[in-house]
Amino acid sequence: MARLLEKALVDAIKERKLTLCTKQIISSMENSKLVLISRSLPTESTKKIEESAQNHNVPLIHFNDTSVQLGKLCGLRFRVSAISLSTLSNTNTQAILKEFEKSNFKKESSLGLNET
């Protein structure tokens, strides 16, 4: 996973500038800079967060792993199905998105999914 994202998650947890849980994320979306959802999140909840993020123009990353792995990435000892970060600068947000896109492209390329 991207190093910038991991650092942003750890920093947000230290500073307590994050939101966990679907309902809280949706209700505080206007304050969010970036939202991550794991593949463990139920489809209905995923759709609600996606819709809210789109309505508030908040970037959304589909973390291609389980809630257990997202929790570990955050340095937490419990599952994290969704997390919203509220302290990122626009520059850091764009850098994380770009880094995430590159890492996903590399994974897809190595699996032969992007070949024409």
Within-domain flag for 77: yes
Confirm whether 33 is domain-assigned.
yes
Residue 66, domain extent: 3-88
Confidence (pTM): 0.79
Within a domain: 114: no
pLDDT of residue 12: 83
Say if residues 56 and 30 touch (Cβ distance below 8 Å).
yes
Task: Say how far apart CA 76 and CA 101 lie, in whole Å.
Answer: 25
Please count the structural domains in the chain: 1
Q: What is the CATH number of the domain that holds 52?
A: 3.30.1330.30
Q: How many CA atoms lie within 13 A of 64 on its CB side?
A: 9
Q: Is residue 102 part of a domain?
A: no
pLDDT tens profile 55-110: 999 999 998 889 998 888 888 889 999 999 988 888 888 888 888 887 764 443 33
Cβ density class 28-65: b for 16+ within 10 Å, e for less: ebeebbbbbbbebbeeebbebbeebbeeeebbbbebee
